[in-house]
Chains A and B, each alone.
Chain A
Amino acid sequence: MKAWDAIVIGGGHNGLVNACYLQRAGLDVLVLEKNDWIGGAATSRELTPGFLYSNCSYVCSLFRPEIMRDLELPRFGLQVISYEGGAVFTRDGDYLANYRDHDAHRREFARFSKRDAEAYDRYSRDVTRQCRFIQPLLMRTAPDPTSFRPRDLGELLYLGKKFAGLSAEEMALTLRFWTMSISDFLDEYFETDVIKANFALSGIIGTALGPMSPGTAYVLLHHYMGEVDGSVGAWGYARGGMGAVTKALAASFKASGGTIRTGAEVDHVLIRNGNAKGVVLAGGEEIYGKLVISNADVKRTFLKLVEEKELPDIFLRRVRNFKIRGSSGKVNIALDSLPEFPALPKDSPVYRADMHFTDSIERMERAYDDWKAGRWSADPFLDMMIPTTLDPTTAPPGKHFMSCFVQYAPPKLDGRDWTDADRDGFAESVISQIAQYSPGFRDRIVHMEVRTPREIEAEVGLTEGNIFQGELTFDQLLFNRPVPGYAQYRSPVGGLYMCGSSTHPGGGVMGAPGRNAAAEILRDLAKPTLHMSPAHDVI
């Protein structure tokens, strides 16, 4: 029976990135995807005729350009379009916009506070400095601080040198940045509620923490260190929806000879004498492989796909305690026309940008209080956008697809599972919020898909529906991600690797975990990695 060189469990973006690099290194690679479609959380599907739903991830910035280039993704159809900034609607019928033009941005902020308008440069300088510190770490395997191997020592030295290269002030800021709350951080720059709320959004997205929880400042950084074609911090739409990212990856993979099987759910990893030998599918079919790489999160991989007896106790305990808490949901809506927002002038570029309705940190924190109490937020925070205003490919002309990321939604309600009725109540909390700012909104809805953590876990396989495969808090970053001692994509089982967002450098449609894992695997196989570009320079 055939034994593949490598079997990748899960056809998400990281699984596919990993598979592409391995296949291009000359391995014979099989990707197994449980759904009948590929993409994981980077997918776009026609859920109602004419409308392509990017029903999980919805915007693109973090995806590493080195990977796009190595894997020739433009040739396979990937195009990322920058979009315009965004706005927070205020309760007094106004809005605060973010414009791409520096001076327009300042003037807009000055409508609310002249002081805050002029504080933006310093804020932006400090955030940029921190991003420049972290960016080069994304495409490197985190060092193991307990190891004395030359490579780990070298990487530790690299980290240490980078840190020592900072001024005393920067060093202090770095440590604060990695540990403080986004609310406290913003208080050091701004005084206006809506302006702080505007920036705080990036600190809590996908995170089961409130804006006042320590550690959320780093989450903001995580959302700033991306780029669209060199424009650092910019966000864009993948033309054709986020599925275009994984479609291009799959096409690149197949073009280099790789094989993808959909509708192939892995039941467990086949292990003999502590070494992975392949997988067993849900139907009982055994597939053999010399290596098994899991794109699933660390909990799903080691608590569901691997038998407990194969794993050391401490490892298991740490995996069980890994924080991967569901905190968000999504409402995806097909609209028969562009919604109107009376607060927004009709010619405002904000229609083509992200829109929010939570105009104070206080409201965000209250929304988080509901999560702690085991309820979905009565006054949720939405990250809402209408990508069809820039990407005409995902809805019929004149009609629109709207993506609403919703926070907070707990994995369990009061300790019990979500029901369909709960899901509808959750959706109503979202629709009624939008309708408050957009009269007639309900009448424009053609079709709607509602995804609570229950649906996200069931379909995509993300434990608790956590979009990052694990919280991006400092205790779970770098050499502690996912667990100490196993931060280099390897596991206690020989030949079993991890390549998902549970690993360094974490979540978002970035591709770096998949690529870094491939580098480690090829190192173990003593194969060259010449087809893998090093990280672009940060100059």
Chain B
Amino acid sequence: MNHHPTIKPSTDARTAAQSHFRTLRLGTPFQPRIDALGLKQDWYSWAGYRAPHSLWDEELEYFAIRSQAALFDISPMTKYRIEGPDAEAYLDRVTLRDVTKLKPGRVHYTAWCDDEGFVLDDGTLFRLSPTRFRLCSQERHLPWLLDSAFRYDVTVEEETEAVAGLALQGPTSFAILRDAGFAGVERLKVFDLAEFAHDGATVTISRTGFTGDLGYELFVPADKALSLWDRLMTAGELRGIRAIGYTALNRARLEAGLIVANADFTTSEHAIRTDHLRMPDEIGLGFMIDPDKGHFNGRRAILEARARKKLRHVLVGLEIEGNIPAEHAIVYYRKSQEVGLVSAAMWSPMAKRNIALASLQRPYGDTIVDDLWVEIYAMRELQYQKLMKKAKAVPRPFIKLDRRTANLPADF
């Protein structure tokens, strides 16, 4: 009466990959170098990778970005390779910005939405050739990208582990790349990318970054990661290159007014509470929407929300009096009516101002920008110092550095 199926031996790579359970936090391709520099052993999990909060001193790491050059491992970022004759049309349909205007050798910052117009994620789109793209993001989207590819002649492949990434950011970053022998890197304008030879392979260098500073991002096959690291470190030795952790980078990005998915807004596939869903206009990404470009995912819902004035939130930059960071403080109107929450805040060393990003309920932050207050709970020796500080909605970025966009970039 028993009819059990026969068990056939398995031999493939799938079985070989079983052992991942022994390493809950994977190393990136750069891990041997980072481990050697991680004097603080201060790790966090970035998408399951062991990533440093800080390597030796978070404050000095921050100043490496602003004064010298900082090397930051971005390998855990999710990467998709999108290729095919229809890749442009496909991405134009999936993402908000007009991809037909993105020329080969260019990068743009974009976002993509579900059919209800809620933001699934933001990220950068690299056009490597007329038919080949790389999409980088915080969260993972393979089912969405594959389902959207229906009827397009395009392949979508997840390549997070195969491709290692580095951000080289700071005033001396250009000089380091030049000294490392990447001839022609001086021709890269902001959001340009080009391919360069490295160690028998190719490294893609783009003039992009997450710091608001002069900087570059480098993508290389995982097995060439260490030689790339060493090449940069050697070239940068006399120009103050330092490896850094996320805390320093996070400060720089906040000064640059850049948002982080699932820190400054909740992505649609993670929003269990539906009132936390956000449309692009509600997180400061309305500029990406091009109603004239033809259909894209979420277009109908977004345009309807605009027409019916159903946008409920707005993400703003705040300048707050005093110097106490207002992280996760509640924002009030006239000191009494709760109108929003600060998602990131710091004292900006570059702007010498107390800055923050906050999500507010419209019309506050939108048409009503005066008489806003934040309630800061500053824990001092097991006691909250409660401060009610005046806040002012200000345009982002909080700092603007000429060197970020200068052509050609200077040595420092």
Residues of A with Cβ closer than 8 Å to B? Answer: 90-95, 97, 99, 101-104, 106-108, 111-112, 114-119, 121-122, 125, 128-129, 132, 166-167, 169-170, 189, 345, 347-349, 363, 375-376, 378-379, 425, 428-429, 432-433, 436-437
Find the residue from B5, B9, B15, B143 having the highest chain A CB count within 10 A: B143
- Tell me if B335 is interfacial: C-beta within 8 Å of chain A: no
Of B1, B116, B271, B274, the residue contacting A425 (CB under 8 A) is B1
Residue pair B9, A93 in contact (C-beta under 8 Å):
yes
The docked-state distance in angstroms from the alpha carbon of A167 to that of B141 is: 23
B270 contacts A121, CB within 8 Å?
yes
Point out the residues of chain B lying under 8 angstroms from A125, CB to CB: 269-272
Q: Which of A94, A102, A433, A436 contacts B18 (CB 8 A)?
A: A94
- A125-B270, A129-B272 are contacts. A94–B19 as well, Cβ < 8 Å? no
Chain B at the A interface: mostly helix, strand, loop or mixed?
Answer: loop
The answer on a CB contact under 8 Å between B2 and A429 is yes
CB<8 Å pairs between A and B, sample of 21: A91-B8, A92-B10, A93-B9, A93-B10, A94-B18, A103-B45, A103-B48, A104-B24, A104-B48, A114-B142, A115-B142, A115-B143, A115-B146, A118-B141, A345-B18, A345-B19, A345-B21, A363-B5, A378-B2, A425-B1, A432-B2
Query: Given A363-B5, A429-B2, A101 and B24 touching (CB < 8 A)?
Result: yes
Partner of A167, one of B8, B47, B143, B274: B274
Contact of B15 among A93, A166, A428 (CB under 8 A): A93
Q: Which residues of B contact A (CB under 8 A)?
A: 1-10, 14-15, 17-22, 24, 45, 47-48, 116, 139-143, 146, 158, 269-272, 274
What residue of chain B has the Cβ atom nearest to residue A169's Cβ?
Answer: B116
Q: Are B24 and A114 in contact (CB under 8 A)?
A: no
Closest 3 CB pairs of A and B: A103-B48, A92-B10, A118-B142
- The CA of A318 and the CA of B45, in the complex, are separated in Å by 55
Decide: A118 and B1 in contact? CB cutoff 8 A. no
Contact A379 B3 (CB under 8 A): yes
Main secondary structure of the interface of A (DSSP, over half): helix
A108–B48 CA distance with the chains assembled, in angstroms: 12
Is the beta-carbon distance between A121 and B269 smaller than 8 angstroms?
Answer: yes
Which residues of the other chain, B, contact A128 by a CB distance below 8 angstroms?
272
A428 and B2: CB pair below 8 A?
yes
Besides A104-B21, A117-B142, A429-B1, 6 more A-B contacts (Cβ < 8 Å) are: A114-B142, A118-B158, A125-B272, A378-B2, A379-B5, A432-B4
A125 to B277, CA, bound (A): 12
B18 touches A107 (CB 8 A): no
Q: How far is the CA of A345 from the CA of B45 in the complex (A)?
A: 25
- Cα–Cα distance between A243 and B1 once the two chains are bound (Å): 34
From residue A130, how far is it (CB to closest CB) to chain B in Å?
10
**Assembly CA distance A165 to B140 (angstroms):** 29
Check A111/B14 contact, CB under 8 A, given A92-B8, A169-B116. Answer: yes
CB pair A108 B20 closer than 8 Å:
yes
Give Cα distance in the complex from A259 to B382, angstroms.
50
Which residues of the other chain, B, contact A119 by a CB distance below 8 angstroms?
142-143
Give the docked Cα–Cα distance between A436 and B146 (Å): 38
Q: Check if A104 sits within 8 Å of B4, measured CB to CB.
A: no
CA distance A95 to B18 in the complex (A): 9
| Across-interface contacts of A91 in B (CB, < 8 A) | 5-8
Minimum CB–CB distance for A68 against chain B, Å: 25
Give chain B residues whose Cβ lies under 8 Å from the Cβ of A429. 1-2
Contacts of B3 in A (CB 8 A): 378-379
Question: Which residues of A lie under 8 Å from residue B158 when comparing CB positions?
Answer: 114, 118
When distances are taken between beta carbons in the complex, the residues of chain A under 8 Å from B8 are 91-93
Known contacts A107-B20, A111-B17; decide if A121 and B139 are in contact (CB<8 Å): yes
What is the minimal beta-carbon distance from B401 to any residue of chain A, in angstroms? 35
Cβ-closest chain B residue relative to A97 = B21
CA distance A90 to B18 in the complex (A): 13
Contacts of A345 in B (CB 8 A): 18-19, 21
Q: B7 and A436: CB pair below 8 A?
A: yes
Chain B residues in 8 Å Cβ range of A167: 274
Given the complex of chains A and B, what is the CA–CA distance between A95 and B3 in angstroms? 20
Q: Which residues of A contact B270 (CB under 8 A)?
A: 121, 125
Residue of B nearest to A189 (CB): B143
B269 touches A107 (CB 8 A): no
Q: CB-nearest residue of chain B relative to A121?
A: B269
**Contacts A91-B5, A437-B7 hold; do A103 and B21 have CB atoms under 8 A apart?**
no
CB distance from B278 to the nearest CB of A (A): 14
| In the bound complex, CA of A121 to CA of B20 (Å) | 20
- Assembled-state Cα–Cα distance A106/B20 (Å): 11
For residue B315, give the distance in angstroms from its CB to the closest CB of chain A. Answer: 21
User: How far does the alpha carbon of A428 sit from the alpha carbon of B10 in the complex, in Å?
Assistant: 26
Report the Cα distance A379→B7, complex, angstroms: 13
Residues of chain A contacted by B6 (CB below 8 angstroms): 91
Chain A residues with Cβ below 8 Å from B271 are 125
Contacts of B24 in A (CB 8 A): 101, 103-104
By a CB distance below 8 angstroms, the chain B residues around A111 are 14, 17-18
Contacts of B274 in A (CB 8 A): 129, 166-167, 170
Cβ contact within 8 Å between B14 and A121: no
What are the residues of chain B within 8 A of A428 when measuring CB–CB?
Answer: 2
Contact of A118 among B18, B140, B272 (CB under 8 A): B140
Q: Is the CB of B21 within 8 A of A348?
A: yes
Whole-angstrom CA separation of A166 from B273 in the bound complex: 10
**Cα distance A125–B272 when bound, in Å?**
6
The residue among A91, A97, A170 with the most chain B CB atoms within 10 A of its own CB is A91
